[in-house]
Amino acid sequence: MVRVNLDIAKSLMTARWQQTGIAAVGVTFSITMFIALLGFMNGLNSMLDGLIINRTAHVRLYNDISPTKNQPIAIGTDSTKEHHFIHSLKATSVRKDIYNAPQIMQALRQDKRVTGIAPRLSAQILYNAGSIDITGVLNGIEADAESNLFHFSDYISRGEAKDLNSIPNAVILGKGVAEKLLVEPGDVVQVTTSLGNKLSLKVVAFFQSGIAEYDKVQSFVSIETVQKLLGVSKSYVSDIQVKLTDITLAPAYAKELSAVYQVNAEDIQTANEQFETGSFIRSLISYAVGITLLIVAGFGIYNILNMMIYEKMDTIAILKATGFSGADVRSIFMYIALSIGLVGGLVGLIIGYVLLRIIDTIPFVTAALPTINTYPVDYNPVYFFIGITFSLITTALAGFFPSRKASIVDPVTIIRGK
């Protein structure tokens, strides 16, 4: 019985294939745009997020320089009733490194929730450029861990990140720093620490993050070089950057680490809240536009089905007279609507995919993003799934009222009316 109804639906559609085709093209167009819009928008989104989030640790452990929370004067007096005029026990003997860093790192490496860790040791330095000193930050890193976890090597605009390990006293200069110092890879730069220690570093590569302010200050050397420069032991580490298997665990994990190891722990969500908000709004806009397109296509289907039903009054009457019930007639027209949605939607998915492929090849060169040469595109299958689901839902809704109208057509008035 279902097959008979399907068969009739098919014949009705093929008899007016131009009309049916136009309705399907409407769906195809909106699904195509939906896919292209979401894929492109989210490609841009993840690129922009990547600017910060890819390079940022999910949890960062460090020792903040801050005065003690338990000021001596507060001990033994009731601060709710009295005002303290003396509350200035400054931070003097605070250590800048993380206490027990090797043990913490070993424990973190064994934790299943952790993908990997990268220790850092930063030092404030001055680049010596002729008679002028330029302030900067020298980041001691483990180049391999940084590249694996935080895409460090993606931001190297000239040279190789791994040269940090193989060449002694190698430095990767920020692009801005290099421009100020007028150096090329292979040249040597002089740096001075705040304590007056001097060191010659060999430039092996340039680093370009896309954020100019950052590139004017930051340079990277191996962690051992900084330890040597500061004259500290091999276990002296100021930051431990942790990457988790699941980024959503970060806030809870940060709290846990902070409590267990008595260090400051900052999670990525707290550190970069504005990026999530931005991504969310951009996604929201693309979904809204996509769904609007689909609704417009839905009205197209609604009109065409309504027209079809007026044209096919005789057919409906004869179907009813020969034993098709109202429910059968309704299902015939629902099949028509859903077929339009399914076929139009599937073709839309294919064209949408092709369109994304084309966008993917369009050159997009910007000095800020050295690793990106074409427009970024996200081929997430979720968009395709949402696209086809929405096209079916919209066409089902668009078909519902015309189908119901067809099902309540009174055959007597049609037959008598001739």
Partner 1 sequence: MIKTEPILKANGIEKYFNDPVRVKVLDNICFEIQKGDFVAITGKSGCGKSTLLYILSTLDTDYDGQLWLEGKLTSGKTDKELALIRNQKIGFVFQFHYLLNEFTVLKNVMLPALKLGQKSKEEIEHDAIQNLKLLGMDQKALKNANQLSGGEKQRVAIARALINQPLIIMGDEPTGNLDNKNTDIVYDIFKELSTTFQQTLLIVTHDQEFAAKTHRTLVMEDGRMV
Closest CA to 59 of 275, 270, 254: 254
Of residues 171 and 409, the one with the C-beta less far from partner 1 = 409
Closest CA to 219 of 121, 140, 118: 140
Least distance to partner 1, CB of residue 312, Å? 9
Enumerate residues 307-366 that contact partner 1 by CB under 8 A: 314-315, 317-328
Of residues 130 and 417, the one with the C-beta less far from partner 1 = 417
Q: What count of other Cβ atoms lies within 10 Å of the Cβ of residue 342?
A: 16
**Is there binding between residue 416 and partner 1 (CB under 8 A)?**
yes
* 260 to 299: interface string for partner 1, x by CB under 8 A: ----------------------------------------
Least distance to partner 1, CB of residue 301, Å? 20
Measured CA to CA in angstroms, residue 177 lies from 52, 138, 275, 377, 391 at distances of: 20, 11, 27, 32, 53
**Which one of the spans 10-18, 45-53, 64-72, 86-94 is the region binding partner 1 (CB under 8 A)?**
10-18
Of residues 180 and 404, the one with the C-beta less far from partner 1 = 404
In the block, tokens 């629902």 appear at: 334
Of residues 6 and 51, the one with the C-beta less far from partner 1 = 6
**Is there binding between residue 165 and partner 1 (CB under 8 A)?**
no
- The dihedral through the CA atoms of 71, 72, 75, 79 has a sign that is negative
Least distance to partner 1, CB of residue 344, Å? 21
Q: H helices of 231-267, where? A: 250-261
* 166 to 205: interface string for partner 1, x by CB under 8 A: ----------------------------------------
State how far the Cα of 55 lies from the Cα of 53, in Å rounded to an integer. Answer: 5
State how far the Cα of 28 lies from the Cα of 10, in Å rounded to an integer. Answer: 19
**Is there binding between residue 75 and partner 1 (CB under 8 A)?**
no
Of residues 112 and 416, the one with the C-beta less far from partner 1 = 416
**Which one of the spans 7-15, 17-25, 159-167, 364-372 is the region binding partner 1 (CB under 8 A)?**
7-15
**Is there binding between residue 243 and partner 1 (CB under 8 A)?**
no
Kind and range of the H or E run holding 310: helix 273-311
**Is there binding between residue 74 and partner 1 (CB under 8 A)?**
no
DSSP state of 211: -
Q: Identify whether the C-beta of residue 51 lies closer than 8 Å to the C-beta of residue 29.
A: no
Q: How many helices (H) and strands (E) does the chain have?
A: 15, 10
Enumerate residues 15-34 that contact partner 1 by CB under 8 A: 15
**Is there binding between residue 91 and partner 1 (CB under 8 A)?**
no
Q: Which tokens belong to 107?
A: 């424990």
Least distance to partner 1, CB of residue 355, Å? 35
Least distance to partner 1, CB of residue 324, Å? 6
Least distance to partner 1, CB of residue 364, Å? 51
In the block, tokens 């993050």 appear at: 209
Q: Which tokens belong to 413?
A: 């008035």
Number of residues that bind partner 1 (CB under 8 A): 28
Q: What count of other Cβ atoms lies within 10 Å of the Cβ of residue 177?
A: 25
In the block, tokens 């001075």 appear at: 192
Residues of this chain that bind partner 1 (CB under 8 A) = 1, 3-4, 7-8, 11-12, 14-15, 314-315, 317-328, 411-412, 415-416, 418
